[in-house]
Amino acid sequence: MTRFASTVAGAALLVAAAGCRTAASRAPGAPPEPARRPDTSAAQAPGGPGGAGGPSAAMAGAGGTQGDPAPRPYARIITTGARTREGMFKTHRVGSKLFFEIPRRELGRDMLLVTQIAKTTLGVGYGGEQIGDRVLRWERRDHRVLLRAVNYNIVADTSLPIAQAVAASNYHPIVAAFNVEAYGPDSAAVIDVTRLYTSGTAEFGVGNRIRGSFDASRAFIERVASFPTNVEVEATHTYNPPPAPPLPQDLPVQINLPPSNSQSVLMHWSMVRLPERPMMPRLEDRRVGYFTIDQLDFGTSEQRAARRSYITRYRLEKKNPGDSISEPVKPIVYYVDPATPRWLVPFIKRGIEAWQPAFEMAGFRNAIVARDAPTPAEDADWSPEDARYSVIRWLPSTVENAVGPNVVDPRSGEIIEADVLMYHNIMNLQRAWYFTQAAPLDPRAQRLPFPDSLMGQLVEYVVAHEVGHTLGFPHNMKASSTYDADSVRSRSFVERMGHTPTLMDYARFNYVAQPEDSIDAADLIPKIGPYDKYAVMWGYKPIPEAKSPEEERPTLDRWARMQDTAAYLRFSTSNSLGADPGEETEAVGDADAVKSTALGLRNIKRVMALLEPATAKPGENYDDLSEMYNRTLDQWVREMQHVANVVGGAESQEKYVGQEGPRFTPLSRARQQAAVRFLNEHAFRTPAYFLDAGILRKIEPEGSLDRVGRAQQRVLAALLDNSRIARLIEYEALSTTVASANGAKNTKGTKGTKGTDGASRRARASDVYKPGDMLLDVRRGVWAEIYAGRPQIDAFRRRLQRTYLETVAAKVNPVHTPPTRVPLPNGGVITLNQVRNIPDARPLLRGDLVELDRDLARALARTTDRTTRLHLQDARTQIERILDPER
């Protein structure tokens, strides 16, 4: 979610299919033959420049690499007091040192390093947060072991000549080099990796999470565990406080900066061997929403570098491939963090397993399951940071958020593991949203705090949404606009279809439904919908007859075209740039935002009547009343902005070549004008229901004028957005230019069709909402009083009108601030704070101000109210300054 947006994490990771030679068994301590120099040809390492990080100065000489290596007898290094763990590597702790014993079979294999914070100082993130991930590879060169960072962004078939150039552009950087201290059985290299975990090197550090200098004297390895496919290490890192920033000497007041303190974090590194047999990737199709990994393939017949995008998904294989529905060989398992409040655990499990019906559409029964984390008595080595486990983490945070990152293998898009981070105050956000949107429809929500049964359902919804992200699904804001307002008010419809087709939309709770609709309370909350089942089917259903991603494309295309006849299966349109009013966040029934918002306003008025009784607690303060009042006003703004987005909007559908019709179709003039009329009536006319003195005087002595004014300002700013005006200008330009050209061309049309094409295009041109007409409609709504017989303008409207002038002034005379250029570590630059320049907007707005000034002059002659007269005179002065700022 944005708020619980979901964020996708995990760098693109690719597993190399490098084979390993196995030497004959040797006695411990007997040095083997020198290892061959690692192959750096294209066959070994297609990849991209930049890598996962260069050699670190802090690691230079790590493990005793100065001088020529001199392996010693095994028993001299791994003494009888060593604490040894068997696994992918043998790990040995000898005093404060950590040794890896790396068998030859693990050299040259790609491994995924996932770095997390297990514990942290208060104020420095949260235990359980991921720092990053990268692919690493161990290699032996003579009596040294190198640890390289591997990056796979560019590829080419190794049989092609260009593969050499690809390899030359991808010389994998060395993270660390280690002298071989001894050799174990089967020529396993024993190396001292202590400093790898205790030196604060960039590849194993906290990134930019902590400011200050790393103190190696306060870094200690705390825990090591080795398993058949992974090694887990934990170490404490401590950072000195950063120096205080210099302050000017001539400050008028003395500033005492708070003291800085040292910061310690318990770091956790999970090094997991990536699958030796990659899953066959599935090519992306923009008509169906999936997160993707990208590769540039230089070995195709295309006359350019071909971008290959593969969807991210878990590896699911049927136990019984011949069955239409089968248990998976390995189910997707999510563990519930043992730190989770106990009363929420059943709801979290239901949120995880809510996806089971969707996977049945793909042919898998019990594909996704929830499990309790084992207790220390059941498994002393189990850790939520272990990258083999996907975990729903619960974080003690006041942040109102939840996120669902995952880590993927970029050869195939296979999801390796995922964690959902639930910040504790997500419950406060859900409480506010549900109260402001659904309290009139659910008696349980008409009193704070909510009962546990209701709050548990709201948490279950968030978990299911975030699990959806970890399964590979991005947001689909298009979905909610495929249901009309009448449908989401139908009890039988929402019971069967939900009030939005997908859990991955930001259609929170059904604020369009009315109390008389008698919608069941369970159906006010989003649930797995038809789009979710369709998307899981599209991405996860096996296509056994296809032996390559290209062979899957005809089937995938056929499935994608199901959207042509079932609109509720559609996904957000790529590159819509905010033009489609059906791709709204926080919207229900946005197929017709005017109709749905009109219904939503009825519920907002009902919520205002519920505010005091819902928040009243004898002996308590009015903080809840204040918070819920402000949240309700925010809900009002969101719904009004949905209407504003109709103006300059275009309906859209993602289409590929072969599907008829355009991707974008501008909305009709009538529909856009209706939206402006609605805003003039309901947004720019003062919403009196927010001016309840009984509420306002309990939360503040004054402030309602500014609060309501700021809310209206947000709506007005959305309506007069530069991109919106630009679209109106372009739609008018295209319609008139094309109509004129085609009308002339077809005046001599063929017999029986004379002038038909030109006439139809001219008809469409007349249906365009011209930007000048839009500005006139807005002006007449905001300044409606000056067109009355004897103008009299109250304080709320005066503030709105001043806001209008300020908004227009910023567009007519923009302040040109130089854009901020932010350098990136890879040498690139991000440019921020650039405002889109709309050349045609300035003369349109200036002309509108000239006409407004004329109308103000006429109104001044008719008004008898002194305050109104002064306001109008001031408005004319402001217009004069806007039109002639140098005066």
pLDDT in tens, 358-370: 999 999 999 999 9
DSSP string, 257-273: PPPP--EEEEEEEEEEE
Burial letters for 308-319: b for 16+ Cβ neighbours within 10 Å, e otherwise?
A: bbbbbbbbbebe
Least confident of 197-201, 454-458, 541-545, 755-759: 755-759
User: Between residues 171 and 754, which one has the greater pLDDT?
Assistant: 171
**Tens-place pLDDT, residues 74-88:** 999 999 999 999 999
| Residue 177, SS3 per DSSP | strand
What's at 331, amino acid-wise?
A: P
What is the model's pLDDT at position 273?
A: 95
Mean pLDDT confidence for 233-251 = 79
* 449: preceding bond cis by omega (within 30 degrees): yes
Is the pLDDT assigned to residue 132 strictly greater than 90? no
- Residue 324 pLDDT grade (very low, low, confident, very high; cuts 50, 70, 90): very high
> Where are the alpha helices (H) located in 471-519, listed in sequence order?
485-488, 491-497
Query: What digits encode the pLDDT tens for the residues 788-827?
Result: 999 999 999 999 999 999 999 999 998 876 666 666 544 5
Residue 48 has pLDDT above 70, yes or no: no
Which residues, other chains included, contact 19 with Cβ-Cβ below 8 Å and sequence gap of 6+? 108
Per-residue pLDDT at 251: 57
Which tokens hold the place of 135? 């692919």
pLDDT digits (tens, 9 = 90+) for 85-112: 999 999 999 999 999 999 999 999 999 9
Helices (H), 393-548: 426-438, 452-470, 485-488, 491-497, 530-540
Domain boundaries, the chain: 57-242+260-274, 332-719, 725-782, 793-883
Higher per-residue pLDDT: 450 or 748: 450
Between these two residues, 749 and 661, which has the higher pLDDT value? 661
- Taking residues 388-414, what's their average pLDDT? 92
Q: Residue 51 pLDDT more than 60?
A: no
Please count the residues of the chain.
Answer: 887
Contact of 117 with 128, CB cutoff 8 Å: yes
pLDDT in tens, 668-723: 999 999 999 999 999 999 999 999 999 999 999 999 999 999 999 999 999 999 99
pLDDT score of 479 more than 90: yes
Can you say whether the dihedral through the CA atoms of 683, 688, 692, 698 is positive or negative? positive
Query: What is the pLDDT, as a whole number, of residue 242?
Result: 79
Tell me the torsion sign for CA atoms 155, 156, 159, 163.
negative
Whether the pLDDT of residue 652 is over 50: the answer is yes
pLDDT recorded at residue 45: 31
pTM score of the predicted model = 0.88
Whether the predicted pLDDT of 40 surpasses 80: no
Q: What is the mean pLDDT of residues 456-464?
A: 98
60-77 burial, b at 16+ Cβ within 10 Å, e below that, comes to eebbbbeeebebeebeeb
pLDDT at 41 over 50: no
How do residues 844-878 score in pLDDT, each as one tens digit?
A: 999 999 999 999 999 999 999 999 999 999 999 99
- 51-60, 511-520, 820-829: lowest mean pLDDT where? 51-60
For residue 556, give the 3-state DSSP assignment: helix
**Does residue 265 register a pLDDT over 60?**
yes
User: pLDDT tens-digit profile of 560-596?
Assistant: 999 999 999 999 999 999 999 999 999 999 999 999 9
What average pLDDT does range 311-320 have in this prediction?
97
* Dihedral over Cα of 737, 743, 745, 746: its sign: positive
User: What mean pLDDT comes out for the span 287-301?
Assistant: 87
CA dihedral 462, 466, 471, 472 (to 10 degrees): 130
Phi, psi of 131 (to 5 degrees): -90, -40
Higher pLDDT, 313 or 168: 313
pLDDT of res. 12? 36
281-289: average pLDDT: 97
Residue 794 to residue 803: CA distance in whole angstroms? 14
The first and second tokens of residue 687, run together, are 């919403």
User: In this predicted structure, what is the pLDDT of residue 739?
Assistant: 53
Number of H helices, E strands in the chain: 22, 25
pLDDT of residue 821: 66
Mean local confidence (pLDDT), 756-773: 69
